[in-house]
């Protein structure tokens, strides 16, 4: 009898707790449903139509837009460019971010000054930076290139099919490195100094210290920076829009630029939504792989 009473009371407590959890979760869930899930479902619906963005009437055309995506090489070319750009952006951001953070973490004179100077680009908009570098690339780079007798830099590098991507990448890194560096700097400061002292006493080399002490402490930050940079690389738009407009030809046209072109300049809205959904699936697959490997690492 007593047990029954106890179990009834536990069940009531459980139900009340569940209700509280539900009430706390509901606002977040409803916001997510309204602002994320609904647009995605609407996007999937519109991708199955021939809507031009203006007409109030449209027809359901099934998977026609998805078939059309691969009618020309445009989407694949843009996808290859975007993936190449993203890989380079991720690698350079992590490698340079760690190097700069380590330099800024040293006991040097004017450390505060260097740190402040280094973070100035972060407060400027990427569009503004793109436009500034646009002018530098036309007026300044060729002068330097000619003075140093470097043929590749004796003209605007943004006009060269091979150099344009590297120039955009450089500008993106110039601004985009600030936040990852800040995160790495915070990560470095969490490393206990006695570990370094012990390692030095044991005769560890600088590389050993980095590999076996610094890097393991930085790995969680690396994971965060990886995800943030991956996202910004796959969705790159503003730097390209400001600096090359996707050119020369289509040499720097990212998938986001292609989606913009088809949607806003050609009124192929439903088609551009289909392209966005295909891109979304690719991003989801990459993210899933990243989560899988991160989890595996944690388990080890």
- Around 106, how many Cα atoms within 13 Å sit in the side-chain half-sphere? 8
Neighbours of 213 (CB within 10 A): 17
Supply the minimum distance, in Å, between the C-beta of residue 229 and other proteins: 27
Q: Is 163 exposed, middle or buried (0-12, 13-18, 19+ CB in 10 A)?
A: buried
- Around 235, how many Cα atoms within 13 Å sit in the side-chain half-sphere? 11
Of 165, 179, 139, the residue nearest 243 (C-alpha)? 165
Q: Which of residues 17-56 bind other proteins (CB under 8 A)?
A: 52-56
Identify which of residues 109 and 135 has a Cβ nearer to other proteins in the complex. Answer: 135
Long-range (24+ apart) CB contacts under 8 A made by 291-299 are 294/223, 297/219
Identify which of residues 153 and 177 has a Cβ nearer to other proteins in the complex. Answer: 153
Task: Tell me if residue 14 falls in helix, strand or coil.
Answer: helix
Supply the minimum distance, in Å, between the C-beta of residue 132 and other proteins: 13
**Single residue of 47, 93, 156, 172 touching other proteins by CB under 8 A:** 156
* Token couple for 240: 């390209």
* Token couple for 74: 């445009």
Supply the minimum distance, in Å, between the C-beta of residue 11 and other proteins: 49
* Token couple for 224: 């965060």
Interface with other proteins includes 146 (CB under 8 A)? no
Supply the minimum distance, in Å, between the C-beta of residue 167 and other proteins: 11
How far is C-alpha 146 from the geometric centre of its chain's CA atoms? 35
Interface with other proteins includes 261 (CB under 8 A)? yes
Q: Which of residues 195-254 bind other proteins (CB under 8 A)?
A: 244-250, 253
Identify which of residues 212 and 264 has a Cβ nearer to other proteins in the complex. Answer: 264
Interface with other proteins includes 193 (CB under 8 A)? no
Identify which of residues 267 and 290 has a Cβ nearer to other proteins in the complex. Answer: 267
Question: Contact positions toward other proteins, by CB under 8 A?
Answer: 52-56, 71-72, 134-135, 137-138, 142, 155-161, 244-250, 253, 261, 264-268
């Amino acid at each position: 009898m007593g047990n029954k009473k106890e179990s009834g009371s536990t069940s009531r407590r459980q139900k009340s707790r569940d209700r509280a959890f539900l009430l706390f979760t509901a606002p977040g869930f409803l916001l997510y449903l309204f602002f994320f899930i609904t647009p995605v479902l609407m996007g999937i619906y519109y991708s199955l139509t021939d809507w031009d963005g203006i007409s109030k009437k449209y027809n359901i055309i099934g998977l026609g837009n998805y078939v059309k995506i691969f009618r020309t090489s445009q989407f694949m070319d843009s996808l290859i460019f975007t993936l190449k750009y993203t890989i380079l952006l991720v690698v350079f951001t992590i490698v340079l971010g760690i190097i700069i953070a380590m330099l800024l973490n040293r006991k040097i004179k004017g450390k505060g000054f260097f740190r402040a100077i280094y973070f100035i680009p972060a407060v400027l908009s990427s569009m503004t930076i793109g436009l500034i570098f646009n002018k530098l690339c036309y007026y300044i780079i060729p002068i330097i290139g000619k003075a140093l007798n470097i043929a590749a830099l004796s003209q605007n590098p943004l006009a060269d099919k091979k150099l344009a991507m590297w120039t955009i990448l450089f500008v993106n890194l110039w601004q985009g490195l600030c936040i990852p560096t800040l995160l790495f700097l915070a990560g470095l400061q969490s490393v206990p100094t006695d570990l370094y002292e012990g390692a030095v006493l044991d005769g560890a080399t600088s590389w050993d210290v980095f590999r076996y002490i610094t890097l393991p402490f930085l790995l969680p930050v690396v994971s965060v920076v990886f995800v943030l940079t991956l996202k910004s690389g796959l969705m790159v738009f503003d730097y390209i829009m400001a600096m090359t407009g996707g050119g020369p030809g289509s040499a720097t046209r990212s998938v986001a630029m292609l989606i913009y072109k088809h949607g806003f300049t050609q009124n192929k809205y439903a088609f551009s939504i289909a392209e966005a959904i295909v891109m979304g699936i690719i991003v989801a697959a990459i993210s899933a792989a990243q989560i899988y490997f991160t989890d595996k690492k944690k388990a080890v």
